[in-house]
Amino acid sequence: MFQDKNILLGIGGGIAVYRVAELARLFIKQGANVRCVMTKSACEFVTPLTFEALTGEAVHTDLFDLTSEREMGHIKLARWADAVLIAPATSNLIAKLAHGIADDLLTTMMQVCDAPVLLAPAMNTSMWESAATQRNLQTLQADGMHVLEPASGALACGEQGIGRLPEPQALADALLPLLLPQTLQGQRWVINAGPTIEPWDAVRVLSNRASGTLGARLAQYAAAMGAEVSLIAGVGAPILGCDVSRVNVTTAEEMLQACEKAAQGADVFIATAAVSDFRFTEVSEQKVKRGDTQQLTVQLTANMDIVASIAHMENRPKKVIAFAAESENHVEYAKAKLLRKGVDAIVANDVNNMASDTASGWWISNAKDEINGKIIEKCNKMQFSQEIIKKVMELAP
């Protein structure tokens, strides 16, 4: 997600500093270059050595470091960053930034910073709700800074309320849109994901091995690029990103109804969900007993083809993209489905991609150079979703 991005962490003085160490490690694992600027108060909670070990970079703490300041180090740091995340943003630090006070390295650096800035406040509930803090935040937002509201829960002081630093992944999710071009701004995307579950009796169900990860990644990345995204999520589909509208469903019928409602007039509909092709004709409200039975025959009824229904509905989305998970003859089967379902493009992939962290496949559309499929090489599902979104954007409506 953050491959080769330059992320500057501005670390304020609060008990939540230890969680920023987890965040730095997360960014590094996802390919980012990370440098840290710590206030003097932050160093009282966690030593700079911790962040140096995690990032492999020297931690900057002193405005009057003669070596770096001879080269105007605070300006070089600000120019280096693709984005700045300040966490925890204390009430004191927020007040300094709002009033242009530059009395340490971090606040001085922010005076010359042109990169997008995300503030992650963390403090006692009363401090967060105080008129002064809210007024200062409004000033900073008017100046173009972004603010991630703190989480609720148990605070270090023993009280309960809003003021906790959000989880590291939530911080990373909030920073991602600041690093991506907002090329999908104004568009409405609908994506379905995950398996559906068809009940047989009070205990047993018919389902499959799909995890829903790819669909959730597509939703996360499209939202980070500015789209208004609705995710119709089957059971177990992960929660990724904070700007995705999510509708949870269980059965194929529930997914069909939710997709039809959300997809009316959408710009894009992407069907990644592994929908059960069949449901049980009869469903028992009680558990079916085995008894002495050695063989049992059940009757199945075909479910509606969701993506075909969306492709043929009135006020259909401008672009409808299907997925075809196959175990053989991937491209041939997908080409047939492209015509039969009336979709604009289809992604053929192997059933072994289900419940895997990686994916590969073929992009197939009616375009002359894509009708026989363009290979998408094996990669992690975030990279795979980026490739799919790129191809959707290039697809003629």
Summarize pLDDT for 304-328 with one digit per residue, the tens. 999 999 999 999 999 999 999 888 8
pLDDT number for residue 267: 98
For the four alpha carbons of 336, 341, 346 and 349, in that order, the dihedral sign comes to negative
Q: Of 36, 43, 113, 157, which one is the catalytic site residue?
A: 157
> For residue 262, what pLDDT band results from cuts at 50, 70 and 90?
very high
Q: The CATH number of the domain where 330 resides is what?
A: 3.40.50.10300
Which of 127, 157, 179 is the C-terminal boundary of a domain?
179
Tell me how crowded residue 57 is: count the other CB atoms within 10 A of its CB. 14
Quick check: helix, strand or coil at residue 262? helix
314 and 374 belong to one structural domain: yes
The mean per-residue pLDDT over the stretch 243-255 comes to 96
**Nearest in space to 354 (alpha carbons), one of 277, 272, 276, 255:** 272
Q: Are residues 164 and 240 in the same domain?
A: no
Q: Indicate the average pLDDT of the chain.
A: 92
Q: Give the per-residue pLDDT at 241.
A: 72
CATH of the domain at 20: 3.40.50.1950
**pLDDT value for 68:** 54
Q: In the predicted model, is pLDDT for residue 117 greater than 60? A: yes
Q: Are residues 253 and 125 in the same domain?
A: no
Confidence of residue 282 (pLDDT cuts 50, 70, 90): very high
Higher pLDDT, 270 or 373: 270
Tell whether the model's pLDDT for residue 124 goes beyond 80.
Answer: yes
Instruction: Give the pLDDT confidence of 189-207 residue by residue, as tens digits.
Output: 999 999 999 999 999 999 9
The β-bridge partners of 83 are 7
Which two tokens mark 37? 């600027």
Q: Tell me, yes or no, whether 321 and 219 share the same domain.
A: yes
Angstrom distances, CA of residue 331 to CA of 57, 119, 337, 344, 373: 47, 47, 10, 15, 7
77 close to 60: Cβ distance less than 8 angstroms = yes
CB 10 within 8 A of CB 84: yes
Average pLDDT over residues 370-385: 89
For 151-160, write each residue's pLDDT tens digit: 998 877 778 8
Residues 23-78 have pLDDT tens digits of 999 999 999 999 999 999 999 999 999 999 999 999 999 877 645 545 556 688 88
CA distances from 151 to 120, 141, 313 (A): 10, 19, 41
Q: What is the DSSP letter of 287?
A: P
Using 50, 70 and 90 to split pLDDT, how confident is the model at 291?
confident
Whether residues 214 and 143 share a domain: the answer is no
Does residue 139 sit in the same domain as residue 279?
Answer: no
- Write the single-letter amino acid at 186: G
Lowest mean pLDDT, pick from 229-233, 271-275, 346-350, 355-359 = 355-359
How many other CB atoms are found less than 10 A from the CB of residue 354? 18
pLDDT tier at 81, thresholds 50, 70, 90? very high
First to last CA, the chain: 28
Note whether 194 and 170 are same-domain residues.
Answer: no
- Do 29 and 133 lie in a common domain? yes
What percent of the chain has pLDDT above 70? 97
Collapse the DSSP code of 341 into the 3-class scheme (helix H, G, I; strand E, B; otherwise coil) and give the result: helix
- State which of 155, 179, 203 marks the end of a domain: 179
Count the neighbouring beta carbons within 10 Å of the beta carbon of residue 209: 12
The residue segments making up the domain with residue 340 are: 188-394
From 162, 179, 196, the end of a domain falls on 179
1 within some domain? no
pLDDT at 28: 96
pLDDT surpasses 90 at 228: yes
Our count of domains for the chain comes to 2
Assess if residue 349 is contained within a domain. Answer: yes
Give yes or no: residues 215 and 70 share one domain.
Answer: no
Distances (CA, A) of 127 to 95, 124, 148, 154: 12, 5, 16, 15
The question of whether 242 is a catalytic residue gets the answer no
Same domain? For 245 and 386 the reply is: yes
Indicate if 196 and 175 belong to the same structural domain.
no
63 and 172 belong to one structural domain: yes
Q: At 189, give phi and psi (nearest 5°).
A: -115, 140
